[in-house]
Amino acid sequence: MLRASAAAEEAGVPSVSLTCEGFIGQAATTATGLGLPNLPVAVVPGHVDVQTVEELRANVLGFTVDAVIQGLTVAQEQASESVEPEPGAVVFEGSVDEINRFFYENGWSDGLPIVPPTAARVDEFLKFTDRAPDEELGVLLPDKRSATVRNVAINGVMAGCRPEYMPILVALIEAMADPAYGVEHSGNTPGAETLIILNGPLIRQLGFNYQQGALRDGFMANTSIGRFWRLYLRNVAGFLPHKTDKGTFGNTWRVVLAENEDALAKMSWTTIAADQGIAAGESAVTISRFTGGTVLASVFGSKPEQMIPYLADGIARLVAWEVIFTLGMADGAQKPLLVLSPILAQTLARAGLTKQDVQRQLFEHARIPAWKFERYLGEWTNLSPGHPRLVDFVKSKRAPAVFAESDDPNRLVPVVCKPDDIMVAVSGDPLRTNAYVFAHNGILGFPTTKPVRLPGAWRRLLAEAAGR
């Protein structure tokens, strides 16, 4: 609503945005990011989802309407502009403790100690890219702040990254700035969090963990780059708790998931990056936001017909209200991720299955009753109003025919639109029979892949870094 209101105001048309009480802070901060800090807002008390029609009517008539009239008829006070430091400026001098306190008090820290981003440290990071420090990688919402190579380096230092991680950090922010990803949704209320997947030679060159504990902190490359992502969302995009970041519960940042490319090569399976169109042997990052995940423990069986039903059941159980991104709020945008331990993937491959075969079999088994799918759309949530029916989606050609093979409410329907919507990665303890599944946040963090571009002197720089 605020973006539509801002467009109207810039066209000379008075406007007022409606917001529930819990979103007042987010509305104010978003308006500032849009360049209209005093954009009129009218509050609806409480939250509309838990109000009766009578309660909502009373709240709107008794409170909201007056605010709408005032917003349309009374000139807003001129807002004072905030002044930000110039690129490369020294913002504070002091001890490490004093710097950490200063950064925390200004909202530039996640609460953990940061590495002070001194000019010397930032310059070390800038050596690992051939791009100019002030080159703009994109403009990030909600604050409409410019993402530059320099502020990538600054946040990389703060997160505890090593300078040689810089090419990965730049690729990540290029992905963050891609409109297909949708960074502006990073503060939505389900509190989904981005997972970074790394592919290519950099996994080994920079010492990423891709074996036991692949999703656990404790490895510098995986951990610090995961932290960098969240710091950059805070410090450059502008997502701050109690303001623009409105995750009801939220999650903390996730470590980088590096695929086990040795195992994939032996099975002739494609990597996540290859699935996204990146040439084999090229390093790349893939980002996608997931609402949550769970382990599928002790996957049993030596044949696909023993293993696939359990793996598919895990996907079907986890993709619950998120089916609104399969059909409804968005069509064909649900992209759950299944992470297989190498021994599970190898067992499936030994039976003659390619990754694409596994995706097809998962698609056939990862299903829920049609009545449950429809309740997620229009009864248990208000995210697809009007109580839509799956048969109507098919009739209007918004859904494949598989969703309306009959009108039996108990018929089983898939939780995604097509087999390759189920992303499959291979990582983790090579000899444990566990898998992990993530439910996807759909268009609010769509899978986006970018190649990692290395500087011309990469090998020399890497050798020098290894000697430090």
Over range 419-430, report the average pLDDT: 98
14 lies in some domain: yes
Last residue of a domain, which of 26, 49, 73? Answer: 73
Is residue 415 within 8 Å of 323, Cβ to Cβ? yes
Beta-carbon-side half-sphere exposure of residue 129 (alpha carbons within 13 Å): 24
267 lies in some domain: yes
What is the band of 78 on the pLDDT scale with cuts at 50, 70, 90? low
Last residue of a domain, which of 73, 94, 119? Answer: 73
Q: Is the pLDDT of residue 24 over 60?
A: no
Residues 136, 179: Cα–Cα separation, whole Å: 15
Residue with tokens 């409409």: 144
DSSP 72-114: HHSPPPPPPPP-PPPTT-----S-HHHHHHHHHHTT-S-SS--
Residues 185, 331: Cα–Cα separation, whole Å: 17
213 lies in some domain: no
Is residue 194 within 8 Å of 287, Cβ to Cβ? yes
Specify the pLDDT at position 45.
76
State the pTM of this model.
0.90
Over range 413-435, report the average pLDDT: 98
207 lies in some domain: no
Range of 251's domain?
243-446
**Which of 116, 33, 21, 93 lies closest to 60, judged by CA?**
21
∠59-61-65 over CA atoms, to 5°? 105
82 lies in some domain: no
**Which of 272, 270, 303, 299 lies closest to 286, judged by CA?**
272
Q: How many CB atoms lie within 10 A of CB 307?
A: 23
Over range 387-415, report the average pLDDT: 95
The total of structural domains in the chain comes to 2
Helix (H, G, I), strand (E, B) or coil at 139: strand
Using CA atoms, how far residue 396 sits from 124, 303, 390, 400, in Å, is 56, 40, 10, 10
Last residue of a domain, which of 47, 73, 99? Answer: 73
Task: Kindly report whether the peptide bond that precedes residue 142 is cis, defined as omega within 30 degrees of 0.
Answer: yes
455 lies in some domain: no
67 lies in some domain: yes
* Candidate from 83-97, 101-115, 209-223 with smallest mean pLDDT: 83-97
49 lies in some domain: yes
Over range 429-444, report the average pLDDT: 97
Over range 20-24, report the average pLDDT: 59
